[in-house]
């Protein structure tokens, strides 16, 4: 059965905001909530109807905020809880929705729960994290923090070594210190996380993107325990916040949607072959035309068949963890990539700046645990004023150095140019929003997706409205047999197709949508 979901999700187009790099209004070099509010009209004008904002909670920022030290307090550098509430309201005024980033798998070492759990005397937080019972025993395969507590034991970590793993129990226990999912400690952690959700949903946020959602229950290879845990959360939400939208960073929709999530991402990790499209040696969307889309389509179809009635699968343009799309895909091929992204089922996610083809900035020193990801997190380029309109701070104060290239793209220039990438994306979103067949819940049937071949063709449909999508990123003419005859052109970029005896010839670097 389909997970109950908020109706707005069905035709939502998301925009991901990395708050520190978006818009700085008080000149400290770091983006802030007021800055986001100022730019909501820009996002709406592009056609996006929803926002996912990366973590904005109190944190020592060893992992850009994915190391939370207080789940219920906005990080002062972005503003206050009141400001955040205003951001929710300003979104709603524009008929937009906003998801916060929930990080349930781990906290910062500075979280008061962790400080309490370090103590030798037993207390409320002794079992809040995954601890072994001897400093000499490491939790296998997880990495750990040890030697900094009075308590005798080692604490498992979830990501960096300063992110202790919260305890939701083990699916299979084989050591005395491992607690089951039903243990008091594990249950208390989950209840505490529900309180965090209650807090923000009560304040007006529309749901969560959930960080590392598949990582919570340990020793859970097939994800059965973690699925069960999220089903418990689903029950709570159905009861108290049936309108809340839940999107997982899991990368395996067949599992996450069973857990009651409305959507899951296909990502740079996991079994999806997402990287074959945009981020590998020969990406399918490169004009070289040496890529292969067939493995991606195979996996997609598998996932789709397993999960389509339950929820959605979404393919992001990128995110704060991946190389910028424009690092490997260039020029017109970016438009072609978006013609694909904006005609697939599931809600599209546009990473801030991808709409103007912001570049990956090479050679930067890591900022706040970004490492190689830092080059994808540089300040948004708004216009040609100081610091591209991002901030009035002096250069050294900027959160991350700007792209300094003289021809760096800006939002303003692209808004004034009807041939820009941004204008193309705006058109594509408009078309998507005007046709049910192209929206999130419309069906998909692949027509042509052969190994090492171009183009890619698929039908999108709903009821008796069907649209044929033809995508040819390769810089050469290609053709394929097709039993559907394109009648009217809904959208085309890069020339015209020829149809003859059931064979369609497609010009180089082309994307088109057709009524059939
Ligand atoms: C997720 C986030 C990433 C973060 C990690 C640890 O993958 O997207 O940015 O570093 O989880 O929380
Ligand atoms: Ca600021």
Secondary structure in 3-state letters for 188-252: HHHHHHHHHHHHHHHHCCCEEEECCHHHCCECCCCCHHHHHHHHHHHHHHHHHCCCCEEEECCCC
Give, in degrees to the nearest 5, the angle at Cα 103 between 189 and 49: 130
Q: What percent of the chain has pLDDT over 90?
A: 95
**Confidence label for 309 from pLDDT (cuts 50, 70 and 90):** confident
User: 187 to each of 70, 167, 168, 184, 454, how far by Cα in Å?
Assistant: 20, 9, 7, 5, 51
Take atom 9 of ligand 1 and give the residue whose Cα is closest.
321
Q: Residue holding tokens 């890619």?
A: 456
Strands 478-481 and 207-210: unpaired
Please tell me the predicted confidence (pLDDT) of residue 515. 97
Q: Is the pLDDT of residue 4 over 80?
A: no
- Provide the Cα torsion 149, 154, 160, 165; round to 10°: -100
CA-based torsion, 411, 417, 419, 423: positive or negative: positive
**How far is it between the farthest Cα atoms of the chain?**
81
Q: Average pLDDT for residues 97-111, to the nearest whole number?
A: 98
- Surrounding residues of ion ligand 2, Cβ less than 5 A: 24, 26, 28, 30, 32
**Confidence label for 269 from pLDDT (cuts 50, 70 and 90):** confident
Q: Average pLDDT for residues 253-271, to the nearest whole number?
A: 92
**Confidence label for 395 from pLDDT (cuts 50, 70 and 90):** very high
Joined tokens for residue 66? 């994915």
Q: Average pLDDT for residues 81-106, to the nearest whole number?
A: 98
Q: For the chain, what is the mean pLDDT?
A: 97
The atom number, within ligand 1, closest to the CA of 319 reads: 8
81 neighbors 74 (Cβ within 8 angstroms):
yes
Q: Residue holding tokens 């080059």?
A: 375
Q: Is the pLDDT of residue 421 over 70?
A: yes
Q: Is the pLDDT of residue 308 over 80?
A: no
Which run of H or of E encompasses 187?
helix 184-203
Q: Average pLDDT for residues 251-273, to the nearest whole number?
A: 92
Q: Is the pLDDT of residue 462 over 90?
A: no
**Confidence label for 1 from pLDDT (cuts 50, 70 and 90):** low
- Provide the Cα torsion 189, 195, 200, 202; round to 10°: 160
- Over residues 213-225, the pLDDT tens digits come to 999 999 999 999 9
80 neighbors 74 (Cβ within 8 angstroms):
yes
Please tell me the predicted confidence (pLDDT) of residue 432. 98
CA-based torsion, 237, 241, 242, 246: positive or negative: negative
Pocket test for ligand 1, best of 57, 211, 270 (most atoms within 8 A of CB): 211
Please tell me the predicted confidence (pLDDT) of residue 2. 62
Pocket test for ligand 1, best of 212, 250, 316 (most atoms within 8 A of CB): 212
**Confidence label for 155 from pLDDT (cuts 50, 70 and 90):** very high
Strands 443-448 and 498-500: unpaired
Take atom 12 of ligand 1 and give the residue whose Cα is closest.
66
Q: Is 138 exposed, middle or buried (0-12, 13-18, 19+ CB in 10 A)?
A: middle
Q: Which residues line ligand 1 (CB under 6 A)?
A: 63, 66, 103, 159, 211-212, 249, 320-321
Please tell me the predicted confidence (pLDDT) of residue 121. 98
| Cis peptide bond N-terminal to 11, omega within 30 | no
Take atom 3 of ligand 1 and give the residue whose Cα is closest.
321
DSSP category for residue 357: T
Q: Is the pLDDT of residue 25 over 80?
A: yes
Please tell me the predicted confidence (pLDDT) of residue 271. 87
**Confidence label for 268 from pLDDT (cuts 50, 70 and 90):** confident
C-alpha span between 148 and 68 (Å, rounded): 19
């Amino acid at each position: 059965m389909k997970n109950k979901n908020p109706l707005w999700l069905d035709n939502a187009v998301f925009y991901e905001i990395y708050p520190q790099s978006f818009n700085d209004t008080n000149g400290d070099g770091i983006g802030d909530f007021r800055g986001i509010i100022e730019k909501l009209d820009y996002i709406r004008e592009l056609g996006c109807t929803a926002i996912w904002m990366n973590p904005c909670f109190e944190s020592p920022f060893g992992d850009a905020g994915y190391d939370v030290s207080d789940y219920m307090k906005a990080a002062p550098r972005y503003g206050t809880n009141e400001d955040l509430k205003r951001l929710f309201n300003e979104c709603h005024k524009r008929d937009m929705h906003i998801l916060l980033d929930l990080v349930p798998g781990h906290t910062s070492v500075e979280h008061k729960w962790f400080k309490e759990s370090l103590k030798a005397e037993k207390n409320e937080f002794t079992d809040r994290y995954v601890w072994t019972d001897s400093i000499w025993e490491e939790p296998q395969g997880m990495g750990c923090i040890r030697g900094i507590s009075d308590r005798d034991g080692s604490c498992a970590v979830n990501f960096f070594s300063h992110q202790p793993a919260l305890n939701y129990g083990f699916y299979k226990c084989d050591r005395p210190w491992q607690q089951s999912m039903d243990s008091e400690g594990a249950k208390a952690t989950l209840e505490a996380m529900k309180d965090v959700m209650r807090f923000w949903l009560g304040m007006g946020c529309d749901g969560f993107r959930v960080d590392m959602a598949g990582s919570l229950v340990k020793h859970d290879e097939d994800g059965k325990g973690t699925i069960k845990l999220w089903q418990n959360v689903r029950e709570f939400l159905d009861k108290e916040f049936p309108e809340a939208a839940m999107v997982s960073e899991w990368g395996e929709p067949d599992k996450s949607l069973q857990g009651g999530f409305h959507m899951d991402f296909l990502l740079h990790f996991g079994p999806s072959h997402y990287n074959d499209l945009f981020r590998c040696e020969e990406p399918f969307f490169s004009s070289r035309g040496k890529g292969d889309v067939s493995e991606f389509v195979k996996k997609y179809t598998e996932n789709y068949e397993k999960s389509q009635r339950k929820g959605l699968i979404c393919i992001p343009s990128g995110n704060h963890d991946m190389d910028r799309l424009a690092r490997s895909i260039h020029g017109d091929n970016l438009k072609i990539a978006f013609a694909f992204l904006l005609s697939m089922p599931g809600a599209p996610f546009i990473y801030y700046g991808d709409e103007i083809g912001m570049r990956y900035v090479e050679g930067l020193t890591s900022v706040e645990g970004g490492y190689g990801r830092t080059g994808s997190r540089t300040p948004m380029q708004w216009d040609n004023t100081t610091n591209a309109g991002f901030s009035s701070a002096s250069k050294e104060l900027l959160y991350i150095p700007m792209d300094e290239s003289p021809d760096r793209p800006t939002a303003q220039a692209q808004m004034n140019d009807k041939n820009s990438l941004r204008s193309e994306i705006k058109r594509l979103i408009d078309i998507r929003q005007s046709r049910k067949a192209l929206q999130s819940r419309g069906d998909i049937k692949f027509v042509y997706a052969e190994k090492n071949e171009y183009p890619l063709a698929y039908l999108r449909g709903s009821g008796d409205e069907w649209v044929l999508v033809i995508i040819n990123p390769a810089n050469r003419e290609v053709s394929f047999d097709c039993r559907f005859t394109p009648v009217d052109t809904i959208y085309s970029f890069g020339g015209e197709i020829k149809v003859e005896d059931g064979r369609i010839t497609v010009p180089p670097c082309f994307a088109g949508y057709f009524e059939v």
